[in-house]
């Protein structure tokens, strides 16, 4: 194969995808409720 047709678009798509993923992640993390985080972070300490 000499080249892949339209290859230029792939890096852009991946960049957009991952950028949105991380932005989404940050938003979710920032807005998560305290009590919920509290529950999770104490899981190792139960028992």
Question: Rule CB under 8 A: is residue 11 a binding residue for other proteins?
Answer: yes
d(CA 34, CA 40): 10
Please provide residue 11's backbone torsions phi and psi, each rounded to the nearest 5 degrees.
-60, -35
CB atoms within 10 A of CB 38: 9
Question: Rule CB under 8 A: is residue 29 a binding residue for other proteins?
Answer: yes
d(CA 27, CA 3): 39
Binder of other proteins out of 16, 19, 23, 25 (CB under 8 A): 25
Question: Rule CB under 8 A: is residue 8 a binding residue for other proteins?
Answer: no
* Interaction site with other proteins (CB under 8 A): 1-4, 7, 10-11, 14, 18, 21-22, 24-26, 28-32, 37, 39-47
């Amino acid at each position: 194969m000499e080249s892949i047709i339209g290859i230029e678009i792939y890096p852009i798509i991946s960049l957009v995808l991952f950028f949105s993923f991380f932005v989404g992640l940050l938003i979710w993390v920032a807005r998560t409720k305290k009590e919920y985080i509290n529950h999770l972070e104490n899981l190792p300490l139960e028992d």
